[in-house]
Structure 1
C-alpha cells in the first residue's frame, strides 16, 4: 500500500489518500468492494438503489466494520424514501452522499449541515452549474464511454466544458482504467477519476468469476448502447440476450417486462403505492413516458440475474467501453497503487517536456 503521491482538492475534501473513486454500481458496490477500495486509499461508494432501506442500514454497518476510512453511499434523489436514507447516512456518519440525479437544494443543505460531502453525478455543464449553485461540494461527470446510463458526448469533450463552468472539484468518469488516464484527467483540471467497470473487474468484486471472464473476453466493440431495456440509453456488454432484446418488438417484450416488474416489487419490498410514487417521480424529473417507466422496472432484476446470479442468459451486464482494454483481475489495492504510481510518473515526464525560455 503506497502513501499519498498526488494531492488534489478532492483528496483534501473527502479525506482519502488517492484521487480515485469506485462508483456506485447496482448489485456490485457492496461492503466487500467498498471497504477494499477505502482500505486501499480510494473512495468506495455503496450502491443503495438496489437495496431496501434495511439492507442499506446493514451494508453501512458492515462497511464500517471492515474499514475506518471514509466511504460514500449513492442515492436516488427521486426515490420516495430519499430523505429517510439521507437520515441514515447522517446517523452513521457516512462521509459522502453521491446522487445519480440532482437532489433538492434543501436536501443538499441538510446533508452539508451534518458534515456530509454532497457529490451529484451530472451529464452536462448546465447541470453542474445548477447543483453547484445549490451548494454541492463536488460533481462527477461521466462521458459517453461509461457504462450504465450514459450520454453521447465523450469524456474528453464533456470534462473541459464542466471544468470551465464550475469551480468546485470535478471527478471525471468514463473510459478510465490506468495511470495515464488519471494523469490526463488531472492535466485537464479534474480533481480525480471515477471508475466502475475497472473496479467490477477486480478480485475484491463479488461478481461471479464466470461473469468476470465473460467481460474479459470482449474487445473495444464489445458494448452496445440500448434504450430497449429500461427506456433510457444504457451501455451494456454485447451478449446474446442484449442482441435479442434489441431485435424484439415492444409487444414481445411486454410479458417479460410485467414478470420482472413483479420480481422487482418482491425483492425490493416496495408496495404498489411506492412503485407508483417512484414512477411519478421518474416522469416528473426525467421526463420518462409510461412505457419507459414500465421498462425501468426491468433493470434491477435483469442486472441482478447477470451480476449476482451469474445467469447471463436471463441478465444484462452494464459495462463501459473500457472493458476492451482490461485483461486482469487485480485486488483494489494493487489496482489503485499502480494507477497512482503510473500517474505520478506520467505527470513527471510531462513536466520534463516543458521548455522554458532562457532569460538574460
Structure 2
C-alpha cells in the first residue's frame, strides 16, 4: 500500500488519511465494510436506520474492535428515536454523525457540544446554506447520478453552486468511482468525494456474490430512476421486479407497502405507534402525501431482500450511474490506494498555469 496521501479540509476535520467517504448504505454499510474502509484510510460510515438502537451500540463496538481509525454513523434526523441514537453516538465516542436529511439546529448543537463532527447530506444549495448556518461542520452534496433517493441536478452543476455558497468543507457525491473523479472534485473546490456503489462493489462488502454479479454485468443504460418503489425518485438497477412495480396500480402498491411496513416493524423492533410518529415526521419534513409515506415502507424490505438475502427477484438494488462502468471487486484497501494514486497522477499531469 502506498504511503501517499492527499490532505484536505475533510481529512483535517475528521482525522482520516484520505479525502474519501464510504457512505452509510442500509443493509450494506455494516461493521465489516465500515472497518475495512476506515483501515484503508477513508471515512467509513455505519448505516443505523435499518437496525434497532441496541444493535447500533453493538455494531459501533464491533467496528471499534476492528479498527482504531475514525468512523461515523448515519441516522435519520426525522426518526422518533433519533435522540436515542444520538445518545449512543455520544456515549460510544463516535467521531462523525452523518444524516440523509437535514438535522435540526438543536440536534446539531447537541452533537457539536459533545465533540461529534456533524456532516449532513444535501441535494440542493438552499439546504446546504441552511445546515451551514445551523452549525454543520461539513456537507455531502449528492448530484442526480447518485444511487438511492436522488435529485435531478447533475453533480457537475450542483457541486460548484454549493462550494460557492458555504464556507465549510463540501464533499462531492454522485458519479464518483476513481481517482480522476477525486481530482475533478478537488478542482471544483470540494474537500473530498463520497461513494456508495463503488464501496458496495468491493470484496469487503457483505452483499451476496450473486447480487454483486448483477451489478458488475450492468451497463449505464441498466440504471434507472423510478418513483414506483416509495413514491420518491429512486435510482436503482432496472430489473424485472422494477418493471413489474412500474406497471402496478396504486391499490396494489399500497397493499404491498402495508405488508412491508409490518415486516420492517418486526425486523427493526419498532412499534406501530413509533412507525406512525416517524411517518408524520417524514410527511412534514418532505411534504409528502400519506400515500407516499405508506409507500416509503417498501424501501427497507425491498433493499434487504437483495442486499442481505440475495433475492434479486424480490428486492431492488439501489445503484449510482457508476454501476455501469465498474467491473471488479477490489478490497477497500486496494480501492482507496488506487484512487489516491490515480488522483495524484492526474493532478501532476495537468498543465501548469501561466
The equivalent of 2:77 in structure 1 is 77
Matched, 1:162 2:169: no
Matched, 1:335 2:331: no
Aligned-residue offset at 1:284: 1.0
Matched, 1:9 2:19: no
1:27-76 CA distance string (max 9 Å, x none): 00000000000000000000001111111111101000000000000010
Question: Any conservation in 1 of the 2:171–2:192 contact (CA below 8 Å)?
Answer: yes
Aligned-residue offset at 1:2: 2.6
The equivalent of 1:199 in structure 2 is 199
Question: Any conservation in 2 of the 1:144–1:154 contact (CA below 8 Å)?
Answer: yes
Relative to 1, partners in 2 of residues 1:159 and 1:355: Cα closer, same or farther, differing over 3 Å? Answer: closer
Question: Any conservation in 1 of the 2:253–2:295 contact (CA below 8 Å)?
Answer: no
The CA distance in 2 between the partners of 1:4 and 1:138, in whole Å, is 24
Q: TM-score, structure 2 length as denominator? A: 0.99
The equivalent of 2:41 in structure 1 is 41
The equivalent of 2:309 in structure 1 is 309
Aligned-residue offset at 1:252: 2.4
Residue segments in structure 1 that go unaligned for 5+ positions in a row:
none
Aligned-residue offset at 1:150: 0.1
Aligned-residue offset at 1:254: 3.0
Worse overlay, 243-252 or 24-33: 243-252
Question: Any conservation in 2 of the 1:171–1:193 contact (CA below 8 Å)?
Answer: yes
The CA distance in 1 between the partners of 2:91 and 2:4, in whole Å, is 30
How many equivalent pairs are there? 354
Matched, 1:103 2:103: yes
The CA distance in 1 between the partners of 2:74 and 2:353, in whole Å, is 44
Aligned-residue offset at 1:355: 4.5
Aligned-residue offset at 1:113: 1.1
Matched, 1:240 2:245: no
Q: TM-score, structure 1 length as denominator? A: 0.97
Question: Any conservation in 2 of the 1:4–1:18 contact (CA below 8 Å)?
Answer: no
The CA distance in 1 between the partners of 2:92 and 2:207, in whole Å, is 27
The equivalent of 1:139 in structure 2 is 139
Worse overlay, 222-231 or 208-217: 222-231
Question: Any conservation in 2 of the 1:4–1:17 contact (CA below 8 Å)?
Answer: no
The equivalent of 1:123 in structure 2 is 123
Aligned-residue offset at 1:4: 4.2
Root-mean-square deviation (Å): 0.8
Matched, 1:217 2:221: no
Worse overlay, 224-233 or 191-200: 224-233
The equivalent of 2:320 in structure 1 is 320
Residue segments in structure 2 that go unaligned for 5+ positions in a row:
none
Aligned-residue offset at 1:255: 2.7
Question: Any conservation in 1 of the 2:242–2:316 contact (CA below 8 Å)?
Answer: yes
